[in-house]
Amino acid sequence: MTRTASKPETKRTPKVAERKPVKVANPKRRLTKTDGFRSVRTGTVTKTGEKASFASLRTSIDLTQTEFAKLFPISVRSLAGIESGTAPSESTTRRFQELNRLIVALQEIMKTASVVTWLLKPNNAFDGLKPIEVIDRGEIDRLWSMIFYLRSGSPS
């Protein structure tokens, strides 16, 4: 019998397949049911063309979550959930779009920094109420009327 020289055995370490980075869905994308199918909620386009979110609108007008939640009306907990990615109800989304349009319209007739001050300051045109209180009461049409007259240049 002839013996062949054998190679000394080396420890084999199993090769671990290199993992490719996994693409994670955009966390800001919210899904909602529409007619039984899932679709992406696109959000509202602001004056600058960026998509507005609840958090960005709230911070742009410098309101706390408590003050902002009163405008919808929803609980602060619900607002926190929406800001962290939970899909809002249809009525909340409509109210958000209306408030976003109102803020954009106000920014067209006054400086952006002045919008916050104006919303939180009592106004004689609204019987001494703050415009934010007028919105809270569900009388947003009074603000739209004021915006119309300011845009047209005619006295009320």
Per-residue pLDDT tens digits for 41-94:
334 434 443 346 888 888 888 888 988 888 888 999 999 999 988 899 999 999
Q: Is residue 20 part of a domain?
A: no
Tell me what pLDDT residue 150 has: 87
Distance from first CA to last CA of the chain, Å, rounded? 116
Q: Is residue 99 part of a domain?
A: yes
Tell me what pLDDT residue 20 has: 52
Q: Is residue 18 part of a domain?
A: no
Average pLDDT, the chain: 75
Tell me what pLDDT residue 58 has: 87
DSSP-based three-state secondary structure for 16: coil
Q: Which pTM does this prediction carry? A: 0.62
pLDDT band of 121, cuts 50, 70, 90: very high
How many Å apart are CA 58 and CA 71, to the nearest integer?
Answer: 11
Q: Is residue 25 part of a domain?
A: no
pLDDT band of 122, cuts 50, 70, 90: very high
Tell me what pLDDT residue 26 has: 47
Mean pLDDT across the stretch 133-146?
A: 91
Range of the domain at 54: 31-152
Q: Is residue 119 part of a domain?
A: yes
CB 65 within 8 A of CB 79: yes
Instruction: Tell me the HSE value of 128 on the side-chain side, using a 13 A CA sphere.
Output: 0
Tell me what pLDDT residue 35 has: 33
How many Å apart are CA 4 and CA 100, to the nearest integer?
Answer: 84
Domain count across the chain: 1
Tell me what pLDDT residue 32 has: 42
Could you give the angle at the alpha carbon of 32 between the alpha carbons of 37 and 68, nearest 5°? 165
Residue of 30 and 5 predicted with greater confidence: 5
Q: Please check the confidence at residue 5 and state whether its pLDDT lies above 80.
A: no
Q: Is residue 21 part of a domain?
A: no
Tell me what pLDDT residue 76 has: 93
Q: Is residue 77 part of a domain?
A: yes
Q: Is residue 86 part of a domain?
A: yes
